Amino acid sequence: MDLRKAFVGLIIIGICVIPFVMISYFRVKKEKKMVKSLSNIAKQQNCTIHISEICGEHVLGIDETKNFVFFFQQREENEITQFINLSEVVYCEVVKKIRSGSNEASNLSFIERVELVFTFTNKKRAPIKLELFDEEINIQIRQELLFAENWANYINDRLENDK
């Protein structure tokens, strides 16, 4: 009787654990594919990714020797790729579009969009905007703002040190 209870308990635990294992497996597989895609973008520019970071469906990476930033975004079947030569960049900033609202108790503000914007030394060249969050596509913001702020700080530190 105790052996039967143990067997049933193991089956129930297995049923509960398997979905978490599968979700983790597919997340890791997706992240590896995104990093590989980013590396392929870098190889096309004769670069190598030294540092990369994933945030949701976005991955940013940098070649520290050639001073290039690479961006890859995967949304369903749509892929967006971008590379930026930091030797042509003056400044990198986080741009947030905020919508205000209110209810009976307080005023509220909602982040509608988060972008990482690169401004170039050549004033005629339009800034490059890397969209990290859009309220119309992603209902809830996760770590995109922190991700953008960390990368903007890192890139601006590199730009300051290169001067």
3-state secondary structure of 69: strand
pLDDT in tens, 72-108: 998 777 888 999 999 999 999 999 988 877 666 677 7
Which range marks the domain in which residue 43 is found? 2-162
pTM score above 0.85: no
Number of domains observed in the structure of the chain: 1
pLDDT at 52 over 90: yes
3-state secondary structure of 19: helix
How far is residue 39 CA from its own chain's centroid? 15
Instruction: Categorize the per-residue pLDDT at 7 as very low, low, confident or very high, splitting at 50, 70 and 90.
Output: confident
pLDDT in tens, 135-145: 888 878 888 99
Phi, psi of 105, rounded to the nearest 5 degrees:
-90, -35
Determine the residue type at 162. D
